[in-house]
Amino acid sequence: MRQKIDIAEVESATKIRAKYLRALENEEFGLLPGNTFVKTFMRTYAEYLGLDAQLLIEEYRVDYEPRGEGDVQPMVSRPSKRQERRRPRASRGPPGPGTAILVVVVVVLVIFVVLGLTGGNDKAPGGAGATTAKQAKKKPARTKRKPAAKPTPTSVRLHIVPTSATYLCVDRGLGKAVVYQGTTSSPQTFKGKRLRVNIGNAGTVRVFNNGKRVRLPSGATIIGYEFTPTRSRPLPPGVRRPCA
C-alpha cells in the first residue's frame, strides 16, 4: 500500500495467486498449502517488495512454525493397531462354575421376557387387557346437583287473565277496603299478604297465584276465592265475597 502497488501487479510479477498474497498480508497462514509454500511465497513476495526476506522467514518460524518441523525423525517401525489386535492372546482356562450359572440365569430371563411379550400380543381386543384400558379411560361419574329449594313466598302475587269481559272485585280481607272493582278484559295483577277476589264469570278467566295456575271449578260462574302466599281456596259458604 505504501508503494502503491496493486495486488494484481504482484500476482502477475511473482506468479503467486492473489488469495495467497492476501493470506500472507493478513497472516492467515492456514489458507496456504503448507509451511514450505508459506516460506517460499514469503521470500518471493519480500524480494519483490524490496524487504529483508530472511528476517520475515525467521519471524514466521519463531511465531507460527510448529516446533521440530523440518527435523528428520528417525524411522522406527512400530506395530500398527491391526497387528496389535491380531496378536494371539494368552490362552485362558475353562470357565468356572460361576460363569456357567450366570449364563443359565441370563438364558432363563431371556425366555421369560420373550414369553411375556408374545403372551401380551395374543390377548383378544375384548379381553381383560382391553377392559382394563377402557375402565382407565372412563371419566369419573359426575354427581348430579340437586336443584336448590325455592324459598317460601311471603306475599301473594295474583295475576288474572280474562279471555273476555269479566267482572272482578278484589280486597285484602273481610272488612277491608276494596283494591279493585270493575269489568275488564285486560290482564290484572295484584299484590299483598292476603287477597280475596270475586269473579263474575269464572269460565272466562285464568288465575295465577305466585306463578302457579289456580284450577277453578269447571262450570262455575260467580265464585269467590281467597289467596295466601302458600294456598289458594274457595271462600267457604256463608262468607261474604268482596263487593257482594
pLDDT tens readout for residues 40-92: 988 998 898 889 989 888 888 888 876 654 444 444 445 555 455 555 554 55
The pLDDT of residue 134: 62
The pLDDT of residue 133: 59
- Evaluate whether 217 touches 142 at the Cβ level (below 8 Å): no
The pLDDT of residue 139: 66
Q: What percent of the chain has pLDDT over 70?
A: 77
The pLDDT of residue 131: 57
User: Mean pLDDT of all residues in the chain?
Assistant: 80
Alpha carbon dihedral 150, 152, 158, 163, in 10-degree steps, equals: 40
3 state SS of 160: strand
pLDDT tens readout for residues 157-216: 999 999 889 999 999 988 888 999 999 989 999 998 889 998 988 888 999 998 899 988
- The three cell numbers of residue 91 are 490362552
List b or e across 146-158, with b for residues whose CB sees 16 or more CB atoms inside 10 angstroms.
eeeeeeeeeebbb
Handedness of CA 110, 112, 116, 118 (dihedral sign): positive
The pLDDT of residue 72: 40
107 pLDDT higher than 60? yes
The pLDDT of residue 9: 87
229 pLDDT higher than 50? yes
93 pLDDT higher than 80? no
